[in-house]
């Protein structure tokens, strides 16, 4: 029995020794001397950058705050945030040498001229934020004539100015202020870190904002930074970060991400709402009791019938309202999901060099956008069961033209559409047919020409819709649609079958496509 106890004690002591060894970091003599000479270090930061950096009531916290505490633990240095400093002031003081440390900063070539960074220990994708009712966008290029809001001192200002010199940029003091500018329509969009934006949207409640698209900048890499004359401290911090396990990194990040959602629930408000609900129920029960006991017997049946009828009408009205909200939400979510697929294809296409594959991806993107626009028009319309075809054609034409834009060609599109609407069941195949025709004209109809013209006409006679599409391009040799083996022509044939019709092809100083449907 004593032998077993001795063995167990030996194992415990051994494991504790291993743990203790793993938790120690071997600093060099120069590093230990430097640490001794710098018992207190004041640092700059971004005070309104949750969940990474938060400064409230004199306390520095957040994901980066937890890493700073680990530096204090391993070195014994007292890391003190400078009270009331802004990010713009932090950058200026780092350049002038008034301060020497910032716990986290985006790693850029410009900043490397005056800062020394550790390896990146945090990365976050840069995304575009717009209002829910803003136009469909697939990247920053779609915002070149719009207003972008960015915080002072952020390196994204220089990146956007270099890539899009014509874009209008306004600045504020924080990410929160930028989101407010977009929410109140004083700016059209904001570019920032996904985690920070998600934190603000979930905690503050910018209900009219959405994550519209990724940027072509991808992930921003962030590291601990010091001025170049403090390079030895950079090495000390790098040793500490190298000693942190993957599990500890995940623990730090997940704890603050979890807090983000917890703060969204106010227990006091929940209790208040429950009390109000209980009080309402009690009052309703008392009213019903008084009503039932005071009504005269001879009119009870009639009163009950009136009450039931009133409740039924109210329920019907409520159900109709709920269905409208549900349909709007469904169209909104479908549009957003298709937009995500479009953005993913767009990102993937940047990594592909094969022109044939790029062409296939480009055609796939136009088809996805054609479907997405149907749901966008529905979502923005008061009538959730019918698509305004005039608005839809104009949006689709703009989308296709932006993809196949050629500044050397002047292609005019004439649209003649009466006040016509189509149900969702017919709008999808019709939109895809029109997308294939427009794509074909922009790609093939005006080869070796500097100008061209496309006309789109839709009329309605009683319950019959007549569609005519023409361009004055090179035309087609085969006028039987079934003789064509291309994917586009096969799609037109099959989609016209869904409309219970068949498209006919003609050569009339170019191509002409016609069909009627109910």
pLDDT, one tens digit per residue, over 445-470 is: 888 888 999 999 999 988 899 999 99
Q: In the prediction, which pLDDT does 383 show?
A: 63
pLDDT, one tens digit per residue, over 252-290 is: 988 887 433 333 334 444 456 567 777 888 888 887 778
Q: What is the DSSP string of 263-332?
A: TT--HHHHHHHHHHHHHHHHHHHHHHHHHHHHS-GGGHHHHHHHHHHHHHHHHHHHHHHHHHHHHHHHHH
CA dist., res. 131 & res. 379, Å (int): 14
Cα 309 → chain centroid: 46
Cα 488 → chain centroid: 31
- If 0-12 CB within 10 Å is exposed, 13-18 middle and 19+ buried, where does residue 276 land? exposed
How many other C-beta atoms are found inside a 10 Å radius of the C-beta of residue 297?
6
Half-sphere exposure of 467 (CA within 13 A, CB side): 23
Three-state DSSP state, 406 = coil
Three-state DSSP state, 180 = helix
- Rounded average pLDDT over 36-49: 95
Residue 331 has pLDDT above 70, yes or no: no
CATH topology of domain 122-221: D-Maltodextrin-Binding Protein; domain 2 (3.40.190)
- Give the DSSP letter of residue 443: I
- Rounded average pLDDT over 472-497: 84
Confidence of residue 21 (pLDDT cuts 50, 70, 90): very low
pLDDT, one tens digit per residue, over 93-134 is: 999 999 999 999 999 999 999 999 999 999 999 999 999 999
Q: What is the DSSP string of 118-158?
A: -S--EEEEEEEEEETTSPP-SSGGGGTTSEEEEETT-THHH
Confidence of residue 19 (pLDDT cuts 50, 70, 90): very low
Confidence of residue 62 (pLDDT cuts 50, 70, 90): very high
Q: Which CATH number fits domain 325-517: 3.30.565.10, 3.30.70.270, 3.10.20.30, 3.40.640.10?
A: 3.30.565.10
- If 0-12 CB within 10 Å is exposed, 13-18 middle and 19+ buried, where does residue 169 land? middle
pLDDT, one tens digit per residue, over 361-420 is: 776 777 776 666 666 665 565 565 688 888 888 888 888 888 777 777 889 999 999 788
Which of 201-215, 288-302, 399-413 is least confident? 288-302
- If 0-12 CB within 10 Å is exposed, 13-18 middle and 19+ buried, where does residue 277 land? exposed
What would you report as the CA-atom Rg of the chain, rounded to the nearest whole angstrom?
Answer: 32
- If 0-12 CB within 10 Å is exposed, 13-18 middle and 19+ buried, where does residue 224 land? buried
* pTM of the shown model: 0.46
């Amino acid at each position: 029995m004593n032998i077993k106890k001795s063995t167990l004690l030996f194992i415990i002591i051994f494991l504790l020794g291993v743990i203790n060894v793993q938790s120690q970091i071997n600093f060099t003599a120069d590093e230990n001397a430097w640490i001794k000479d710098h018992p207190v270090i004041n640092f700059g930061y971004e005070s309104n950058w949750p969940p990474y950096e938060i400064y409230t009531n004199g306390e520095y916290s957040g994901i980066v705050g937890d890493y700073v505490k680990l530096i204090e633990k391993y070195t014994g240095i007292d890391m003190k945030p400078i009270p009331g400093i802004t990010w713009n002031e932090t950058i200026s003081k780092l350049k002038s040498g008034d301060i020497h440390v910032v716990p986290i900063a985006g790693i850029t070539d410009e900043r490397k001229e005056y800062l020394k960074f550790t390896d990146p220990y945090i990365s976050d994708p840069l995304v575009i934020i717009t209002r829910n009712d803003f136009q469909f966008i697939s990247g920053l290029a779609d915002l070149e004539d719009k207003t972008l809001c960015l915080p002072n001192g952020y390196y994204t200002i220089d990146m956007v100015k270099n890539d899009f010199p014509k874009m209008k940029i306004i600045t504020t003091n924080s990410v929160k202020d930028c989101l407010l500018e977009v929410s109140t329509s004083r700016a059209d969009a904001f570019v920032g870190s996904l985690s920070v934006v998600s934190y603000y949207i979930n905690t503050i409640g910018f209900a009219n904002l959405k994550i519209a698209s990724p940027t072509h900048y991808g992930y921003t890499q962030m590291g601990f930074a010091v001025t170049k004359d403090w390079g030895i401290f950079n090495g000390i911090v790098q040793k500490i970060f190298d000693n942190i396990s993957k599990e500890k990194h995940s623990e730090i990040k997940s704890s603050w991400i979890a807090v983000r959602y917890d703060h969204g629930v106010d227990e006091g408000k929940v209790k208040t709402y429950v009390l109000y609900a209980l009080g309402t129920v009690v009052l309703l029960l008392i009213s019903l009791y008084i009503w039932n006991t005071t009504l005269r017997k001879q009119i009870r049946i009639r009163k009950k019938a009136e009450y039931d009828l009133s409740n039924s009408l109210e329920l019907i009205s409520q159900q109709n309202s709920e269905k409208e909200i549900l349909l709007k939400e469904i169209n909104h979510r479908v549009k957003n999901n298709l937009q995500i697929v479009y953005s993913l294809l767009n990102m993937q296409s940047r990594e592909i060099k094969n022109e044939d594959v790029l062409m296939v991806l480009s055609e796939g993107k136009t088809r996805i956008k054609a479907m997405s626009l149907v749901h966008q028009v529905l979502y923005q319309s008061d009538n959730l069961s019918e698509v305004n075809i005039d608005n839809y054609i104009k949006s689709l034409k703009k989308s296709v033209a932006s993809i196949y834009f050629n500044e050397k060609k002047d292609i005019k599109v004439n649209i003649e559409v009466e006040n016509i609407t189509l149900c969702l069941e017919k709008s999808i195949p019709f939109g895809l047919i029109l997308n294939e025709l427009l794509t074909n004209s922009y790609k093939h109809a005006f080869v070796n020409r500097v100008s061209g013209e496309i006309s789109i006409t839709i009329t309605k006679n009683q319950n019959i819709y007549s569609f005519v599409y023409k361009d004055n391009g090179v035309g087609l040799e085969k006028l039987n649609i079934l003789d064509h083996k291309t994917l586009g022509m096969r799609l037109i044939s099959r989609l016209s079958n869904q409309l219970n019709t068949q498209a006919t092809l003609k050569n009339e100083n170019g191509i002409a496509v016609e069909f009627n449907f109910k």
